[in-house]
Structure 1
Amino acid sequence: MARSKKLFDGFSTDIGIDLGTCNTLIYVRGKGIVSSEPSVVAVERGTKKVVAVGTEAKAMLWKTPGDIIAIRPLRDGVIADLETTEKMIRYFIAKVLPKRWLIKPRMVIGVPSCITEVERRAVEESAFKAGAREVKIIEESLAAAIGANIPIFEPAGHMVVDIGGGTTEISVISLGGMVVTNAIRLAGDGFDVAIIKHVRSVHNLIIGEQSAERLKISIGNASPDNKIEKMEIKGTDAITGLPRRLEIDSVEVREALQEPINAIVEEVKRTLGQTPPELAADIVERGIVMTGGGSALKGLPKLLSKETGVPVILAENPLLCVALGAGMYFEYAKGANRSRSIYDNLNS
């Protein structure tokens, strides 16, 4: 049995999935990142027949006729609609793999540490129904650390701050495990919501999620900057109900983002306070590594370093880290097991 399993593993395709609230990324061993699309599914109302998935479906958000609805099946990093999530995973996997598999793939999926056991089982069930032979569910920050090339099996402390779409996870990792971890259901989506609320309350203008996201990406900044950037947005006047344009600057966007950013900074400080002194000393020396799409907000690493007094490094490809790490997990685990067996033999 063990020999046949090893044979299967040798020929099996390993797939890493970052099942994100905003985007789903898929890594295939030997090919790299093969898919990065929005986590959105458009279905027929009533029949729930899939009309579009990913980029095409996102373009339909808030613009569909009465008989079609565009759904984001994941909220705050967890599955809100199990059936639609399963269809979405099936679609993405069918898109990146041959139609006829000789051997079903092994899948590793990164999930937030704050999800419940029921939610974790829902993710696992979706993957099996989508065609997996073996499914491994790991914490996003552990996957992100592997994807960021952090030597997690060292006897040293490494801190990872992974800011995704729905959750922010802060973990201290040593010897391949998480020593301290905290997660809050606030991340990139929360930044967009803060901008929407600010524009409505200050300017009486109603804007959508996509407009808020464009503001965040184009002129959003967590730290004061000498250069003030401006951008025009369009929305609906909250009083007249008529379409209206508005020019907004980067200073105002930074003010709008202050509350969610402060919440994330405080959670990082809390995690540092819970870290054993020996590992904390390692973190001060090595720095905090930031991953996830939300970490790419301009000035955020600089602000976090200023607030904590610890160097902060933005990973080379922050958006890709979880998918890369999930896809590389089996190889990492194999290396770790090999090292442990050597020590076991020395001690026997």
Structure 2
Amino acid sequence: MFSRDIGIDLGTANVLIHIKGKGIVLNEPAVVAQEKHTGKVLEVGEAAYRMVGRTPGNIEVIRPLKDGVIADFDVTEAMLTHFINKIKVKGFLSKPRMLICCPANITKVEQKAIKEAAEKSGGRKVYLEEEPKVAAIGAGMDIFQPSGNMVIDVGGGTTDVAVLSMGDIVTAESIKMAGDKFDIAIQNYIKSKYKLLIGERTSEEIKINIATVFPKGRNEEIDIRGRDMVNGLPRTITVYSEEIEEALREPISLITQAAKYVLEHTPPELSADIIDRGVILTGGGAMIHGLDQLLAEELMVPVFLAEEPMNCVAKGTGILLENIDKVARRKIQ
């Protein structure tokens, strides 16, 4: 029994794994539940995510990745080992080669930590690729031609903006502002306006069901429950789309500024290509309502949401796995 090559989108919010020749076989939250005092891992992924905000004092639910990089090495290793065992890719005597995606501007130390965690979890050889590049490939962009392609990858922990040409990044910017920070902005807004405390699952629900970032882009409402800060009792309120648009203005403006910065530092020939081809939006955070319209208005270029934006990076790893030997050769040079 031989091992198989696998591609891993090691995200702050979700981990997606692509097996060469099989496609995406795993998509689970990057969450681990463990005993506080012993550090014993109790649940990983979906089962651990269901425990968020609902655990007793002796159990803690951890997100081992923060802002696209490893915050807790041991827990990340345990999580990766669990997922790799779950998909059964290890051979009797062999281990799989792994292609892992990381944010564009992370340090050498952060890259080394990702590599080490992957090797310890069962990788024979580990290759790292930059997330915006892999996302662009997964979104169907031909980045290997001498023409400009721009991608904005809004994940859970980071937003990567990059202009690519001839198979590599020309200009890029990576900011620690993405889906998780949207949730926090919503929580803070509800807290200051309604004096109501809500958990991260509730803010995620608001973001998915009624949030918009484009003024008057959506007109919906949702009833939410939380704890009243004044009397400490449970309370239900109704929240509207236009309020959430107001709550998200600041985090979204940072993404817009990053996109403008990248365009301003792009060679003019490539800028002309981007006007023709437009910008592709990928990543789970890109699915927030109205982001494509807002960016198109701000950047004055066409902006398109990729098909299955959340799967773009994992799909891109699949395409690169088909050419893993070329990738390996390039990394050695």
* Same topology, TM > 0.5: yes
Q: 2:78 aligns with which of 87, 109, 115?
A: 87
User: What pairs up with 1:30-179 in 2 under 5 angstroms?
Assistant: 30-98=21-89, 100-179=91-170
- Letter paired with 2:129: I
1:332/1:100 CA distance change after superposition, 3 Å:
closer
Q: Which residue in the other structure is 1:3 paired with?
A: none
- Aligned equivalents of 2:155 and 2:135: distance in 1? 11
- The C-alpha deviation readout for 1:146-201, integer Å capped at 9, x for no partner, is 11111111111100100000000000111111010101000001110110010001
| Matched residue SS, 2:140 | coil
Partner of residue 329 from structure 1, selected from 317, 320, 326: 320
State the 1:66 CA deviation: 1.9
Distance 1:101 1:335 in 2: 26
Give the CA deviation at 1:327.
2.8
User: 2:297 is matched with which residue: 303, 306, 329?
Assistant: 306
Write the deviation string for residues 242-292 of structure 1: whole angstroms up to 9, x where unpaired: 111010110101111111011101110111000000011111110101100
Percent of aligned pairs sharing the same letter: 50
2:4 touches 2:90 (CA, 8 Å); kept in 1? no
- Counterpart in the other structure of 1:190: 181
The residue correspondences of 1:1-40 to structure 2 (distance < 5 A) are 12-40=3-31
Shift of 1:330: 3.5
| CA 1:111–1:226: 2 relative to 1, 3 Å | closer
Alpha-carbon distance in 2 for matches of 1:99, 1:330: 16
State the one-letter code of the partner of 2:266: T
Moved over 2 A (4+): 98-103, 224-227, 330-338
- Report the TM-score, using the length of structure 2 for normalisation: 0.95
Q: Which amino acid aligns with 1:22?
A: A
Structure 2 residue 230 is matched with structure 1 residue 230: no
Q: CA deviation at 1:44?
A: 1.1
Task: State the one-letter code of the partner of 1:137.
Answer: L
Q: CA RMSD in A?
A: 1.8
Q: Report if aligned partners of 1:161, 1:169 keep a CA contact under 8 Å in 2.
A: yes
Q: 1:240 aligns with which of 215, 221, 231?
A: 231
- What secondary structure, in the 3-state scheme, does the structure 1 residue paired with 2:170 have? strand
Aligned partners of 1:171 and 1:271 also within 8 Å: yes
Give the secondary-structure state (helix, strand or coil) at the position aligned to 1:319.
helix
Distance 1:212 1:69 in 2: 20
The whole-number CA distance in structure 2 between the counterparts of 1:209 and 1:36 is 20
Read off the aligned partner of 2:196 and give its amino acid letter.
L
Count of residues paired in the alignment: 329
Task: Report if aligned partners of 1:153, 1:336 keep a CA contact under 8 Å in 2.
Answer: no
Q: 1:342 maps to which residue? A: none
Post-superposition CA distance 1:201-254 (Å, at most 9, x none) = 111011111100100000011113365211000101111111110101101011
Tell me, what secondary structure is at the counterpart of 2:219?
coil
Aligned residue in 2 for 1:345: none
Report the more deviating stretch, 109-118 or 222-231: 222-231
In the superposition, the TM-score normalised over structure 1's length comes to: 0.91
1:173 alignment partner, SS class = strand
